[in-house]
Amino acid sequence: MVKTSSCCMDFLKKARQSKVIAVVIVSTTLLIDYMLLLAIVPVVPPFLWKIHLKEHPEISQNHVDQVHDISTSTSYTPAFSNSTFMVEATVQPPMKELESAYLATQSVKIAAVIAAKPAVQIIANIFVGPLIDRIGYHIPLFVGLVVICFTAITFGLGQTYAVLLISVAIQGIGSSCAMAGGMTMLASVYIDPQKRGQVIGICLSAIGVGLVAGPPYGSVMNAFVGKPATFLLLAGITILTGICQVCYSSLKIEKIHANNEAPSMWILLKDPYILLAASSISLVNIVFGVLNSGLPAWLIKTFKSPKWLIGLAYLPLCIAYAVTTNVMSFIPAKTYRWAFALGGVVSSSLGCLCLPFATRSEKKSQKGKKLPFCKIN
C-alpha cells in the first residue's frame, strides 16, 4: 500500500514537471469551450420551435386532424380482396412551412443567444486580466472550467429560452477565465518566444477543431440522441479536464508581475500592431457571429434542411479555419504577417458577398404540393 502511494506521488511529481500536460489542459479547455459554443447553434432553432409547439398545442392537433382528413378522403375499397393500392395525396400538411415561417420571425432570439456569450466575455476580460496579475492563472483557469461545466449541464437540462440565454451569458465569464488563464499558463511554462509561439498556435488550433466538430456534433447528437446527452457528454469531459488541472497546478496563488507593473489598457490600445490585430480579429468574428445567428434558420427556411444536416453546413468554413490556424503557427516571426491578416479580412468579405447567391430552385407543380404516397388497404 505504501509502495503504491509512493508511486502515485512520483507520477504526480513528474507530471507537474511536464510541459506537455499544460498544453493538453489548455487545448482541451479551448476545445470544449468552442465545441459548446458551436454545438448550441444548430440546436437553438429546433429548440425554439419545440417551445412554440408546447405553448400552442393546437398547431400539432390541427396537423394531426389534417393528416386524418387527407387519409380518409383519398381512401376507397378495391373491387377485389388481398390487394393494396398506393394513392397520391394532393395536399401537404403545412407543418414544415409553419416551422420555417415561425423561425423566420425569431432571428432576434437566435441572435441574442449567439451574441450573449461574446458580449459578456468582452466585459469579463477587462477584470480577468488584472485578476490574473494579482493571484496567478491557476484559480481563474479552474473557475473557467467549473463555469463551462455548469453551462453545459444547464444547456442539456434547460427547458426554457430564458434559461438557455442566461446559461450562454454565464459561459462568457467561464470562457474569459479559461482563455486568459490558459494563455498565461503557456506563457509561464514556455519562456522561449519561438517555442511559445508554436505552442500557442497548437492550442489555438484546438479552437479550430472545436469549430469544426461543434456544429456537426450538435446537430447530429441533437437529432439522434437528444439535447440532454449532447451537452452532458461535454460536461463530463470538462470534469475530467478540471481534475487534471488540479493535479497539475494544485490551485496555488502566485503573482505574475512581481517586479514591474502591468501595462494599462490604454497603453496597449495605442500600440498600432495590437490595434491592427484586434481590428482584424474583431471583423472576422463579426462575420462568424452573423453566420451563427442567421444561417440555421435560413437553411431550414430555404433548403428545408433536417436537424442533423444543419451543422454540416459549417464544415467548409470550420475546416478552413482549422487548417489555416495550424499553418500560421509555423510561419516565422519575420514574415509579413500583416499581409495574412489583410488576406483573412478580404476572404471573409468575399465569402459574405457570395453567400446570398446560394438559393434553391424548385419546380412548380401544376397540381400543387404533394404528400408522399399513402398506403390504402
pLDDT of residue 321: 73
Domain count, the chain: 1
7: in domain: no
2: in domain: no
Rounded to two decimals, the pTM is 0.72
Choose among 216, 210, 203: nearest CA to 148.
Answer: 210
354: in domain: yes
List phi, psi (to 5°) of 137: -95, -10
6: in domain: no
Regions in the chain scoring below 70 on pLDDT: 1-17, 60-94, 255-265, 307, 325-326, 329-335, 360-377
pLDDT of residue 91: 45
361: in domain: yes
CA 103, CA 110: separation in Å to the nearest integer? 9
Could you tell me the CATH number of the domain that includes residue 345? 1.20.1250
Q: Are 36 and 171 in contact (CB under 8 A)?
A: yes
Helix extents (H) in the chain: 2-16, 19-39, 44-55, 57-73, 95-104, 107-135, 138-157, 161-189, 193-224, 227-249, 265-270, 272-303, 307-310, 315-328, 337-354
Q: Which domain holds residue 48?
A: 12-376
Three-state SS across 188-202?
Answer: HHCCCHHHHHHHHHH
4: in domain: no
CA 72, CA 300: separation in Å to the nearest integer? 30
pLDDT of residue 360: 66
5: in domain: no
3: in domain: no
